[in-house]
């Protein structure tokens, strides 16, 4: 089994310090094999916000965590136009990671991060042809038994975002991106951006989408809450490529608590969820 903590949308500068501390404490208690952070580290890409985010990340690094990060639209300066168009991700590279195409591989997992944040759009994301080629290439020689995971800030798929059935915009050039994801045999597509937890088989969202399980994270630590969802992150356990447990870990106003655990199994075409009935160690030890 491999364990992953999937965090997103930290928004340092518009963060809740108590929730930030509890997130770090929770990670230290549960020690995932990999911590994935899918963008929006800061609120406005300001130097002091990146400094705070970087200090928090560096504490995790010095505690020996494996980290994989991608930038979000909030990590590109909005009002500083000179910087926005000439050096949009210079602070991200300096404070968070120099690598905009991060890769993590161990004996169970192969994980690729792709940057979808752009200067030309305020909040929408894009994938370019070169990145689609990287998706195909990086996963090409990964052994069959490893779980292939793609991480972006903007979801590749349109998904429900409002209280009703309103659908989000998908990432720019999403049809080609989905084709690349399908050809690469991606098992899990992780993203954030909407500050809303969500999971569904790609095959039920779009035609010809392949066999990915699409998982969205809420905001882990920010005060920018949507649809009355409090802060949360995802805990993912990959048992095999066709069996994944997803646990939402949500803030309850005082601490993080394990919530909504489901087991997803792949039937050859789609992922099917059923609530996990067994009591887990995670639930027992979720206080932080
Ligand atoms: Fe965000
Ligand atoms: Fe975002």
Measured in angstroms, how far is the CA atom of residue 141 from the centroid of ligand 1? 33
From the CA atom positions of the chain, what is the Rg in Å?
A: 18
Share of the chain above pLDDT 90, in %: 70
Measured in angstroms, how far is the CA atom of residue 193 from the centroid of ligand 2? 4
CA atoms of 265 and 103, how far apart (whole Å): 25
Tell me what the pLDDT averaged over the chain comes to. Answer: 89
Measured in angstroms, how far is the CA atom of residue 74 from the centroid of ligand 1? 7
The pLDDT of residue 149: 97
Q: Which of 22-36, 186-200, 201-215 has the lowest mean pLDDT?
A: 201-215
The pLDDT of residue 134: 97
Taking a 5 Å cut-off on Cβ, the residues next to ion ligand 2 are 40, 72-73, 193
Measured in angstroms, how far is the CA atom of residue 225 from the centroid of ligand 1? 9
Strands (E) in 119-255, as ranges, are: 147-151, 188-191, 198-201, 213-216, 232-240, 243-251
Q: Name the region of 133 (left: φ>0; alpha: ψ -120 to 50; beta: rest).
A: alpha
Measured in angstroms, how far is the CA atom of residue 9 from the centroid of ligand 1? 4
Q: Are 202 and 209 in contact (CB under 8 A)?
A: yes
Which residues share a beta bridge with 2?
238
CA atoms of 263 and 277, how far apart (whole Å): 9
Does residue 104 sit in helix, strand or coil?
Answer: strand
Mind listing the pLDDT tens digit for each residue in 15-53?
Answer: 999 999 999 999 999 999 999 999 999 999 999 999 999
Measured in angstroms, how far is the CA atom of residue 153 from the centroid of ligand 1? 9
Question: What's the pTM value of the predicted model, to 2 decimals?
Answer: 0.92
Pick the CATH number of 2-284 from 2.40.50.100, 1.20.140.10, 3.60.21.10, 3.10.129.10: 3.60.21.10
Q: Are 78 and 36 in contact (CB under 8 A)?
A: no
Mind listing the pLDDT tens digit for each residue in 99-111?
Answer: 999 999 999 999 9
Measured in angstroms, how far is the CA atom of residue 229 from the centroid of ligand 1? 13
Q: Residue 126 gets which letter from DSSP?
A: B
DSSP sequence for 164-177: SS-BPPPPBTHHHH
Mind listing the pLDDT tens digit for each residue in 242-282?
Answer: 899 999 999 999 999 998 899 999 998 889 998 765 545 45
Q: What is the mean pLDDT of residues 195-199?
A: 92
């Amino acid at each position: 089994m491999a364990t992953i903590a999937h965090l997103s949308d930290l928004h340092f500068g518009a963060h809740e310090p108590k929730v930030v501390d509890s997130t770090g404490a929770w990670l230290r208690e549960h020690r995932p094999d990999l911590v994935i952070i899918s963008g929006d580290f800061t609120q406005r890409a300001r130097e002091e916000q990146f400094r705070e985010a970087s200090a928090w990340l560096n504490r995790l690094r010095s505690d020996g965590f494996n980290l994989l990060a991608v930038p979000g639209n909030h990590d590109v300066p909005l009002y500083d136009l000179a910087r926005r168009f000439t050096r949009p991700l210079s602070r991200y590279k300096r404070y968070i990671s120099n690598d905009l195409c991060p890769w993590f591989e161990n004996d169970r997992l192969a994980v690729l991060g792709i940057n979808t944040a752009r200067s030309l759009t305020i909040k929408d994301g894009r994938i370019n042809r070169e990145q689609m080629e990287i998706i195909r290439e990086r996963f090409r020689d990964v052994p069959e038994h490893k779980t292939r995971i793609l991480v972006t800030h903007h979801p590749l798929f349109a998904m429900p975002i409002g209280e009703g059935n309103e659908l989000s915009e998908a990432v720019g050039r999403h049809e080609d991106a989905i084709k690349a994801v399908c050809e690469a045999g991606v098992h899990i597509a992780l993203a954030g951006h909407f500050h809303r937890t969500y999971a569904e088989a790609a095959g039920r969202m779009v035609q010809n989408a392949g066999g990915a399980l699409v998982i969205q994270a809420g905001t882990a630590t920010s005060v920018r809450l949507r649809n009355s969802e409090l802060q949360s992150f995802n805990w993912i356990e990959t048992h095999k490529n066709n069996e994944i447990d997803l646990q939402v870990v949500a803030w309850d106003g005082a601490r993080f608590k394990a919530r909504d655990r489901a087991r997803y199994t792949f039937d050859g075409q789609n992922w099917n969820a059923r609530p996990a009935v067994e009591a887990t160690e995670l639930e027992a030890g979720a206080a932080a």
